[in-house]
Each structure stands twice: as C-alpha cells, then as structure tokens.
Structure 1
Amino acid sequence: MKIVNDQILMDYLLENYNRTKAKNMLKYKEVKVNGKVITQYDYALKAGDDVPSGLLSERTAKESKRTAYMMVKNYVGKKHEQLYLVHRLDQDTSGVLMFVKNKKLYEYLTHHWNDCVTMRSYYGVVEGKMIGRGTIDNYLAESRGQEVYITKKGGQRAITHYEAIVSNKRCSLVHVLLDTGRKNQIRVHMASLHHPIMGDKKYGARSNELKRLALHADTFSFIHPFTHQKMTFTTAIPDSFEKVVKKH
C-alpha cells in the first residue's frame, strides 16, 4: 500500500489492525517497507513508501482496495490495464502469488492448470509431534458454511504429500507438496492427521503462538504454455516458523 503522508509505522498499522495484531506483525517480521522487513514500531514512513502486511490476495465484498491484486496493479502501471491472479493464497497464508498480464495466458492456465503446474510447495507449523512422511489421497467437499471436509461421496480428489522436518512434543515443522490445489486442502489434510496447522482455529488448532496461520507457500513452478519454458518462483520460509519449533 502506498503511503500518502509521512507518519510512524505503528500509527499506520493501527489504522488497519488492533494494537496486539500490529505488535505481533512487527515482532514476527510480517511487515515490509519498500521490500525490506521492518520490526521497529517507530519507523518513520515517508509519502510514497510501500507497506505490505496481512493482505487479501484479491477483492472481497468487504475489501476491494487494500489487496495484493491492487498493489500489483498499481505497480505495473496503466500500460498494463489487464491483470489476472492465477495463484492465490488465503489472507493469513504467506508466500508466492502469481499474476499474469495476458488474458490468453490467463485463460489457458485456468483451463489447463494441472497440465502446466509442476510444483506447489508449502511449509507449515502443525500442532503435536509429527514423525516421518506420507501421502493423503481422498475427496474434499464444502459445506454451506464454507467449511471444507473429507467425504466418501462426491467432492473433488485431493492429494497431499507431507514430511516432518523438525519436531518436538508441542509442534512440528512440515514440508508439503501438492498434487492438487483444492480450497483449504493442506489445512483439512493436516487436521485429519490430528496435527492441525498452528493458528487454524477453524480446523481444530488450539494454539496460536505466531498470531497467524502458520502456513507459507515457498515454491511455485510451472511450464509456460506458449514458450514451453519452466518457470520457478521461490521465497524464504519465515524465520518465526523455525524459531517456534526450536524454542520448545
């Protein structure tokens, strides 16, 4: 989000979040100013600075301006009037988003997604001590209350591969690879193993030490359908994920 007037970072955050949420975002390095992580509450913002934090991927009925989509649209400028979001994340999930500026490419990816995408990789902190690796292969459906659940009849097939990286008695850092990309897939699958994602109260989590959903999309890779070039985008795992596991 572009800053209009000079102000202190905490004052800006308090325009959008309560004080506890604002402090935790700074503490866990979830705020960036002009691409650099800032943790100082009294950091001096200047008009024109970019400040991303806790953004929705795209517009909703309640929010249309303060979204990652609008930030990218403003960044690419008026010469690219068309912009399409093809790899989105839940609001509390951090990591790689993908936008395209070409309608033909957007439509092709939308209709041939599984033929183009070669890798979707996530890191998450789950509750409890998880050991080893495995694969979950079942079907997911969505209730009228927008809660996703495992079903034996109907639904869409969902395949998740997971591996525990670091574990202790209270929580574990896990690496996840997706064969499919269903809504809330990782969250539902981890909960089905009795290891819900930390901070995911919707699917049974009891702890929220990071004050956010502990899920991060670290790698997204696909074959460009027109150039046939393999394109891979990555982002580092948040430091807070490893710290919360190692401190117990």
Structure 2
Amino acid sequence: MRQPSDKRPRRRFSDKDIKRFKVEHDDTLLNYLFTLFGDKSRTTVKSYLTHRQVAVNDMPVTQFDTVLHAGDELKINFKAGFSVFKHNRLRLVYEDEYILVIDKGYGLLSMSTDRIKTGTAYSILSDYVKSQNPENKLFIVHRLDRDTSGLMMFAKSKGIQEQMQHNWHNMVLERKYVAVVEGQMEQPEGMVRSYLAENAAFQVYSTDNPEEGQLAITRYKVLSSNKHFSLVELNLATGRKNQIRVHMHDLGHSIAGDRKYGAHGSPLGRVALHAYKLRFAHPVTRKEMNFETPIPPRFLSITASTGPSAVDGK
C-alpha cells in the first residue's frame, strides 16, 4: 500500500527546538519572518520555509506569500522540518495535537467494512499519525459516504472523540454541503423534515411516524440552475445516515449520479455531493474553527445557466 508520507529517516527533535510566536498584525508570512528574525540573513530566513521548518496554526507552510492574521500562531522548528502529509486520495486541511480535519476524495471509504479493511481514510491517516509515533491513535468523529467528498474530522484520543460526539449539536456550529441535483427546482429555498428509517436492504427512507425513524431536517438553497440540473447548498440541522440523498429524492430532485436514491444518470461519473463547510468549537481551546473547501469546478459548470448541455454530461 502506498504510504501517505515519505519514508526518509526523520531527525529527532524535542519541544525545546520549536519556538512559538503569536502573530500581532496581518501580514504575509515571509515579511513577518523577516521582522521576527532581523538579526539573521534573508537567505537563512527563506531556508526555514524551503525546509518546511515553519508552521502556521500547526500546519507546515512553505509558501512565502501565505497570509497571516493577528492571533495566528507561528512555530519555527530550528532543528528539523515538520513532517508533511501527502496522499492522492485526501488532503490534510488542519492538524494539531487533538484533532485532524481532512478534505476526503469521493470514492474513498471513511472507515473499514467487513470486506474492505485498508485504503480507507481512517487507515491512511492512522498510518500517518503512527509514523510520527507508533503509540499514536486516531478516532473517527463523523463519517462521509464513500461517494461524498469534502470535510471530515478525526480525533487523536478517545476522550476528544466522545466529547465531540456527545456534544455534537452544541459544538458543531455549521455543516454545509453542495450538491448537483436533477432538474430545475421549483422553490429557490426551503426545508425538508421527516423521520428517517432503514429497511432490511439498507435503504434509508422517509416516514411520518416518529416511532419508526429518527427526525431529520435539511434546509436547502438553490445557487444556480439550468433546464437539466441545479446546484444546491444544503444545511444540516441533523446528521442522519443518507439524509441529504433521501431528502433530495423526496423533493423529486435526486442527486446526480445517486442511482440508489432515484438518479437517472451520472453525468459527472460520481455522486455529486460535497461537504464544503465545517465550523465548530475546538474541543480543548474552545476557539471557533472554520473550514471551507472550493465547490468542485464541474459542479459549477454543469449547472451554469449558459453552460453546455448537461444531458450528455459534457
């Protein structure tokens, strides 16, 4: 299996080798470093970036024009570069000693199943944290469907996982998705409310019976549309299994590519659902954490009112 990080021997360093700075004013990274290290040559300061010895809010950074904001934390490792995660199926968005936030690619399982044990988001990231320390562990906070891409959070301890899950509705301030749905929606915005249950074939369905299922509420807003497809922003008030997929099907506008829930075709070659916003209170610092990923370009092009015909998926 391809390893998520390089296998070059890592130089040992301790916390005393890392110096922390609180950013006092907005600036670009390199300019701020020049200000901090006025006693060092410009070549030396630039080398900190080249050798991945600089981290902004715990994420290693090499781009000299990275924008800093007042309150950000800078870390400089004077002995070695910070390890950098790389993988072609997911992107590490944020990491600290308590949590990880990733941008998961579509087609990638969040965690193992009875048939698939490796090559999941969990196994890839577990290998990564164990490469730093074999005793490190990882815990899933919430999941995304295999064919859904976007933002996902993991905890580095059981306690943090339980804290986030048990206080989910208080700590998670915003979760938004975008989806390409079939057809032109009748209303520009609205809400779907139902109770979701699951049958023996693992198909989730809506019911009006509160004793049969769990309450699910999805708010939606149309961002763009044409005769064939609509780009919809979805805000979850609850987080049930397949909630968005079922509710869009209930409205008569299944998510493109989602044949399990009524889609007629797959013009993008995938289920067109992406988790693009995640805002929550950090479980330890209580700082508000706000993450956003770009809407996939093909989502935008296929729903553009003046774009090419979406019938044939071009």
2:180 is matched with 125
Q: CA deviation at 1:172?
A: 0.4
* CA distance in structure 2 between the partners assigned to 1:232 and 1:73 by the alignment: 24
Q: Output the amino acid matched with 2:200.
A: R
Q: CA deviation at 1:111?
A: 1.6
Q: Is the 8 A contact 1:3 1:51 kept in 2?
A: no
SS in 2 for 1:137: strand
1:244 partnered with 2:302: yes
Equivalent in 100, 116, 120 of residue 63 of structure 1: 116
1:234 partnered with 2:292: yes
- The 5-angstrom pairing of residues 211-222 of structure 1 reads 211-222=269-280
Q: CA deviation at 1:3?
A: 6.0
* CA distance in structure 2 between the partners assigned to 1:228 and 1:50 by the alignment: 30
- Cα shift readout 1:108-161 (whole Å, capped 9, x = no counterpart): 112221121111100000000014000112211111111111112221111111
For the structure 1 residues 223 and 238, does the alpha-carbon distance in structure 2 shift closer, same or farther, using more than 3 Å as the test? same
Task: Flag the structure with larger Rg.
Answer: 2
Q: Is there any run of 5+ residues in structure 1 with no aligned partner, and where?
A: 5-47
Moved over 6 A (4+): none
Q: CA deviation at 1:94?
A: 0.4
Equivalent in 159, 181, 198 of residue 142 of structure 1: 198
Q: CA deviation at 1:224?
A: 2.3
1:102 is matched with 157
1:116 is matched with 171
RCO comparison, higher one (Cα < 8 Å, 6+) = 1
Q: Is the 8 A contact 2:177 2:275 kept in 1?
A: yes
TM-score by length of 1: 0.78
SS in 2 for 1:96: strand
- The 5-angstrom pairing of residues 1-248 of structure 1 reads 2=2, 50-52=87-89, 54-78=107-131, 79=133, 81-130=136-185, 131-153=187-209, 154=211, 155-246=213-304, 247-248=308-309
Number of equivalent positions: 205
* CA distance in structure 2 between the partners assigned to 1:49 and 1:160 by the alignment: 34
- Cα shift readout 1:50-76 (whole Å, capped 9, x = no counterpart): 331521110111111110111111222
Q: CA deviation at 1:98?
A: 0.6
Q: Output the amino acid matched with 1:149.
A: Y
Q: Is the 8 A contact 1:141 1:148 kept in 2?
A: yes
Q: Is the 8 A contact 2:181 2:229 kept in 1?
A: yes
For the structure 1 residues 66 and 168, does the alpha-carbon distance in structure 2 shift closer, same or farther, using more than 3 Å as the test? same
SS in 2 for 1:159: strand
* CA distance in structure 2 between the partners assigned to 1:188 and 1:168 by the alignment: 22
Identity %: 45
Q: CA deviation at 1:104?
A: 0.9
Superposed CA RMSD in Å reads: 1.9
